[in-house]
Structure 1
Amino acid sequence: MLFKVEMTVRLPATMPVAEAEALKTTEREVAQGLMRQGRWRHLWRVAGRYANVSIFDVDSVEQLHQLLSGLPLFPYMDIDVAPLCRHPSSIRDDDR
């Protein structure tokens, strides 16, 4: 199942810089691990914002929820999820 996930990160202004950097490093490691597993298919930065648009490929809505809520930055995120399905006019035979 494919989902478009929009994430906006809002770290507290009072968070110490070292703590924020450590959190971002851990987030990157977790995200790249999910990409290597094929669960986090695409990741695009939204220009001018601390936000991204991503495509996840998961077995269920529950699995998506577990992956997202397990992200280190999850407590600081606003997340919008939309399920995706193939468009009948697509020229592709797969989900590339």
Structure 2
Amino acid sequence: MLFKVSMTVRLPHTMPAAEAERLKTTERELAQQLQRSGKWRHLWRVAGHYANVSIFDVADNAELHELLLSLPLFPYMEIEVEALCRHPSSIRDDDR
């Protein structure tokens, strides 16, 4: 199943810079691993914000939920999820 996920990160201003950098590094590594696996299909930054819009390709909403919970920055995120389905006017034969 495909899901559009919008994530906005709000790190506390009181978080030590070293801790913030550690979390960001760990997040980046996991995000890249999930992209290579095909689960995190697309990742776009929202210009001017500490936010992204992503497309996930997972078995179901439970798998997406577990994946999002595993993100190191999850405790500091506002997340919106929308399920996607093929549009009847799409000219594509697949989801790429």
TM-score normalised by structure 1 residue count: 0.99
Distance (Å, rounded) in 1 between the aligned partners of 2:50 and 2:16: 17
Distance (Å, rounded) in 2 between the aligned partners of 1:22 and 1:9: 15
Structure-1 residue corresponding to 2:54: 54
| Structure 1, gaps ≥5 residues long | none
Q: Which amino acid aligns with 1:15?
A: M
Distance (Å, rounded) in 1 between the aligned partners of 2:52 and 2:17: 21
Distance (Å, rounded) in 2 between the aligned partners of 1:7 and 1:45: 10
CA RMSD for the aligned pairs? Answer: 0.3
Distance (Å, rounded) in 2 between the aligned partners of 1:37 and 1:66: 16
Structure-2 residue corresponding to 1:72: 72
Distance (Å, rounded) in 2 between the aligned partners of 1:60 and 1:44: 22
Identity rate of aligned residues, in percent?
A: 77
Q: Which amino acid aligns with 1:36?
A: R
Deviation of 1:89 (Å): 0.4
- Runs of 4+ deviating beyond 6 Å: none
Deviation of 1:47 (Å): 0.3
Report whether the alignment pairs 1:15 with 2:27.
no
Q: Which amino acid aligns with 2:33?
A: G
Structure-2 residue corresponding to 1:4: 4
Distance (Å, rounded) in 2 between the aligned partners of 1:5 and 1:50: 14
Deviation of 1:78 (Å): 0.2
Distance (Å, rounded) in 1 between the aligned partners of 2:2 and 2:40: 10
Q: Which amino acid aligns with 1:9?
A: V
Number of aligned residue pairs: give it.
96
TM-score normalised by structure 2 residue count: 0.99
